[in-house]
Amino acid sequence: MNQVSTPVRERTPRTDRIEARANGLLSDCRRAFHAFGELDELAENLRILSLNAELAAGRAGDKGRAVRALTQYTRELVNRLAQIQGEMNSLRGRTFALSSTILRGLSQMSLFERACGLIDDHDHDARAKSAADHAFHDIMRMLVDTLSDMANCVGELARRAHGVEEVVSQSDSIATNIAIEAAAAGVHEKEFRTVSDTMRHYVDDLRKMIDEASDAVRRASEKGESLRRLGMDSLGELGFNG
């Protein structure tokens, strides 16, 4: 009986660690989502720029053929950004829903810790202690599963951030190529160079967005994996790995 009740007395510090790390994880996720808050606006700016650039390329005739192809590719990147933005919105909703479930589970764990402590401190039979311990296990298992889902969400967020990085790199290459085409565009050089410079400005904004988000995503990834391990370790310490 003492072997069953000993880990019960140690559960409050464990719950505190999970809660602290879960709050830290949610804070990092909020930072990352906030960093990408203007992604849809930047995507729209790129889309409008590509349309204007295509009109300019049309006016340039043969000298604008390459620029026209580059602007069409830019719209593909804009569509990719729109897709990523939609996926991030979905991830944001899932992340906040999971965080609510985690906080609810932690609250239930705290109540059970107190109940288990009362059972342990009084002369209750082994059946009552076993029932309380198994009820605690059910909550812990739900919490571990939710923490694992949260870690998976963070992993998906990291992949979306990488997707934005790829768009930034490709958009930068397009801006460079348009600048090259501008040098040989004659009277249309100024117009094409303006397109290139404007695109570089948007690329710089996207790069700042990535720089701001990358640290938050990295920290969230570390906390997510740490929480996953902490939850599994907690089940193991309680003797409920099976």
User: Has residue 4 got a pLDDT over 70?
Assistant: no
User: Has residue 7 got a pLDDT over 70?
Assistant: no
The domain ranges of the chain are: 2-122+129-237
Q: Which pairs count as long-range contacts for 223-227, CB under 8 Å and 24+ apart, including other chains?
A: 223/21, 223/24, 223/25, 223/28, 223/154, 224/25, 224/147, 224/150, 224/151, 224/153, 224/154, 224/155, 225/151, 226/21, 227/18, 227/21, 227/22, 227/25, 227/147, 227/150, 227/151
Q: What is the mean pLDDT of residues 155-169?
A: 92
Percent of the chain with pLDDT over 90: 44
**What is the model's pTM?**
0.79
CATH code that applies to domain 2-122+129-237? 1.20.1170
11 confidence band (pLDDT: 50, 70, 90) = very low
Q: Are 116 and 136 in contact (CB under 8 A)?
A: yes
230 confidence band (pLDDT: 50, 70, 90) = confident
pLDDT in tens, 87-105: 999 999 998 898 888 888 8
pLDDT of residue 120: 58
pLDDT of residue 237: 65
Percent of the chain with pLDDT over 70: 83
pLDDT of residue 107: 79
pLDDT in tens, 168-191: 999 999 999 999 999 999 999 999
Q: How far is residue 23's CA from residue 30's CA, in Å, rounded to a whole number?
A: 11
User: Has residue 117 got a pLDDT over 90?
Assistant: no
204: tokens are 């710089």
116 confidence band (pLDDT: 50, 70, 90) = low
108 confidence band (pLDDT: 50, 70, 90) = confident
pLDDT in tens, 21-50: 888 888 888 888 998 988 999 999 999 999
pLDDT of residue 175: 95
Burial class of 27 by CB neighbour count within 10 A (0 to 12, 13 to 18, 19+): middle
More confident residue, 237 or 136: 136
194 confidence band (pLDDT: 50, 70, 90) = very high
